[in-house]
Structure 1
């Protein structure tokens, strides 16, 4: 972890600081010139991005972003934690300057924000009761059996489920992983779907009540590419950030930092670009 200076603003503090953040909002380079911290926004998503005990940005996506910024000479970083659904609206409103947290590059999101080049490729998986009594491994299984799945509001999995024919009535949308876990464990949903990393962690803490399906059974088009989100008006800074990130991706230094989170060389994005992902996801 880099020795960046962090200040944590919790979601509950947003109302109190709205006037301040609005006054400070502006292109990243203007903030740098004014000596203001760069504000990283993310939801509290285990493994991907979450606040540490002292407010530092932890999780492998945060680590990649913070280390990339450090390589550019920027270590005055402020973390802003919000709900997942507030990430893109908050970025557009100027509450923070960039968003992390495992945000996938999706065409619908590319209409609203710009993305860095990908920081990795990742698959989703289902969280099901142990033994998988409904034999749910794909969206088609959910559709054909007329059962209910649960996922996070605003997650890519909502779009994926609807692409496979599921109706709103079959998709329970909740704030995040904790609520997905509760819904499946209590039987309010027959299966939950999140990223494999999230589902694996939830199953591990279920005391054997829940298990993870094989992510390879989902269609290849459901594999996604995570990146860092920026406002379009920060395009000049994004170009510099991309150059620094490219120099960092896949290095021994990076892999030593992200491996403890479960990120492996198989997750490196390869030659996939943000432009391709915007057009194809």
Structure 2
């Protein structure tokens, strides 16, 4: 690959004015510069849109859009996919309250160049607090075989930092899922035979405040997880005792009080 390929960065935003500038700066400060930065504001009620417009005026790589009405995550994600340029080599989603380490794009391009058969490459993520203080690191299975072996036990891929080759923009998010969007699409793509790998290093800082939303939606998360797994778990090529036991545990967890669900859910991650 002689010329530096175009990379697409996709950022949905809703009411993240407090952290938005920091997230945008972490993209603009990448050591790799040939990217298009597509941001869609989903009708924020705070000052987000003004912040986005200010950055778009300063940097021509930023393309700023605003939904005419609040569409929610699935439809906004799919709209972002439709805006990717035909010349793009790969794309990734970036949370508007998260931070990217400055060499992530460079590292992912080198990986794709060295491993042509890989369709998507992710990484570990670092959970941080609202001030970017380190909380914990979460690692994911690295090799494609381990990802495939575990995808019906737990989600083996983080959306944070997952870079996908641009032909995968045709695989839209399922708009029936308000939560578990990423898990639904990973399972679908793995089932179709696409190859994913993860790097052990972390290039993505994930603000822990999102866990609050996850806890509020925990019951729906469990329901959707069971719904997604039920499409694949009884296929002979995927079936295992461990995945079957986990599947039944998640069914049982739908019914107890939320406090107990939270305790068991995080103990079994």
If the length of structure 2 is used for normalisation, what is the TM-score?
0.24
TM-score, normalised on structure 1?
Answer: 0.23
